[in-house]
Structure 1
Amino acid sequence: MFALERQKRILENLNANGAVWVSKLSAELGVTEETVRRDLEKLEKQEVLVRTHGGAVPITDSSYELSLEKRKQTNSAAKERLAKEAAEHLLPGDTIFLDSSTTTFYMAKEIKKIRNITVITNSLRIINELSGVESVKLITVGGLVSSNQSFVGSLAENTIKNNFFAGKVFFSSKGITPNAGILESNEQECFIKQQMLANANEKYYLCDSTKIGKVGFYKLAPLDGIDYFITDSNLSDEYVDKFVESGIEYINVGTNK
């Protein structure tokens, strides 16, 4: 069994039982306890669980809020550069989707400078940032409020699917690899982003260097499912060749291009 499959099984077990134990996982998965501990360590770094003595438990709402603050500070200078570059692709009169990522939250600050923009989002943080800004028409999708401070669930998904279309979507994710494509670790957020992508003409992926090569458990989109790749990273030839082949515009805002 590959590591990615093991880790997916661990998360399924965690969601079903509310906790997992190293010894039990070792027996169920047919691997050593040390292998299980390494899997749990990787999952903890991806902020989907918290390790305990002998096992792991889900991230609670309070611990996830701390995680959000940590994420807002992680590589924040790069995310601000990505946000400013993304805002350069906006025109007065545009209607856009913004997901609930921290990078699009920075982009919301830039949107305040542009007149006559319609923003459709599931992010409570973006709603709070743009609420009351006269130059922005703000539309929220509604739904279940998650610990990620966003609207998720079938109501939010169907609201986007059946009611809203946009000229552009700006989004981020957990990670990207040349073969697997664009990946997400949160199932509910993944479904929301997929609906936004399906109902948008131009697709902008905002990817800071910490996400390059990082793996999530849910496939959000294939590599050729975007139009613009905005990053602060010097990518390998494997990525660049695939972008050229798919007609994707690669934009590097890094200080050392």
Structure 2
Amino acid sequence: MLNLLKEHKYVSVNKLANILNYSKSTIRRDLTNLSKIKLVQRTPGGAILIRDQYTEDPLDVRQYANANKKKIIADLAIDYIENYASVFLDSSSTCFFLAKKLKQKKHVVIVTPNLITVSYLELNTDNSVYCIGGKVTDQRSGGPESEMATQNYFVDIMFFSCRGIDDSLGVSDRVETEASIKRAMSKQAKKVVLLVDSTKFDNHFLFKSIEMANIDVIISDKKPDKLFCENLLKENHHMEIIYPDTN
């Protein structure tokens, strides 16, 4: 439903019911629920998408978006984690895909603000997991308390994602608290790795995240175009850009 709204900006209840093969009452109920979490604006007979530059899909929704791309990225990223390493995973759905791979590793210590990741790792692996405290919103912690809590950890490697990456403007997010905790944690990590699927190239959002010069590795599901790569490497000559056919 959200994908249809993103494509058409406005969709009627009748059209949604026909395309999705659901009853009109179900469509109306779902649109009402989406309006409650500020993703759409209800109109007589349909809904308008609220511009996604200013909204954040719930984590439960984001876990299903571009899942195949995120699996590819996780397959590449897991090779950067050694047994006995300490790792930070941000609250992104991309990092949750990486968390699912950690069953392959032993004696890893994971730090994260994502409550879903904490629960999954605690139940499905023998690794140690620490949850960064703070105000909980949409199953993740954030805010000033979370930023302060990052000072209690020094990790070997930090993995994070973003909402957009622009070769001139850098890495950005929709939510200020997400951007700020990433900036704080990047100061506590020996290596910083950005996990970004190809749909996020050439996009930028309101809140700037980690400086491009502070990123050691970018991992994506496909190679960015040549000019994009050249501009990234101008900002950071030591950056690695990894994608499935790198070798």
Same fold (TM over 0.5): yes
Q: Which residue of 2 aligns with 1:50?
A: 40
Q: Where do residues 1-257 of structure 1 align in structure 2 (5 Å cutoff)?
A: 49-53=39-43, 67-133=58-124, 135-147=126-138, 149-160=139-150, 162-245=151-234, 246=236, 247-253=238-244
Name the aligned partner's letter for residue 191 of structure 1: S
In structure 1, stretches of 5+ residues that fail to align are: 1-43
What secondary structure is seen at the aligned counterpart in 1 of 2:104?
coil
Structure 1 residues 98-123: Cα deviation after superposition (integer angstroms, max 9, x where no partner): 00100110111101110010000000
The Cα shift of 1:49 comes to 4.6
The offset of 1:58, in angstroms, is 8.5
Preserved contact between residue 223 and residue 243 of structure 2 (Cα < 8 Å): yes
Structure 1 residue 238: deviation in Å? 2.5
- TM-score w.r.t. the length of structure 2 is 0.75
The residue identity in structure 1 corresponding to 2:230 is D
- Could you tell me how far apart the structure 2 residues matched to 1:97 and 1:188 are? 16
CA distance in 1 between counterparts of 2:40 and 2:124 reads: 39
Q: State how many pairs are aligned.
A: 205
Q: CA deviation at 1:134?
A: 5.3
TM-score normalised to the size of structure 1? 0.72
> 1:253, CA displacement in angstroms?
2.0
Partners of 1:57 and 1:142 in 2: CA distance: 33
Aligned partner of 1:24 in structure 2 is: none
CA deviations on 1:54-98 (whole Å, 9 max, x unpaired) are: 999989xxx97x743332111101101101111111111110110
CA distance in 2, matches of 1:67, 1:116: 31
Displacement of 1:230? 0.3
- Choose 174-183 or 71-80, whichever is displaced more: 71-80
Q: Secondary structure at the match of 1:145?
A: strand
Distance in 2 of aligned mates of 1:229 and 1:209:
11
Q: CA RMSD in A?
A: 2.9
| Contact 1:243–1:249 under 8 Å retained in 2 | no
Q: Which residue of 1 aligns with 2:6?
A: none
Give the structure 2 partner of residue 7 of structure 1: none
Structure 2 gap segments, 5+ residues each:
1-33
Match of residue 26 from structure 2 = none
Return the alpha-carbon distance in structure 1 between the equivalents of residues 48 and 65 of structure 2.
24
Letter in 2 for 1:110: K
Q: What percentage of residue pairs aligned between the two structures are identical?
A: 26
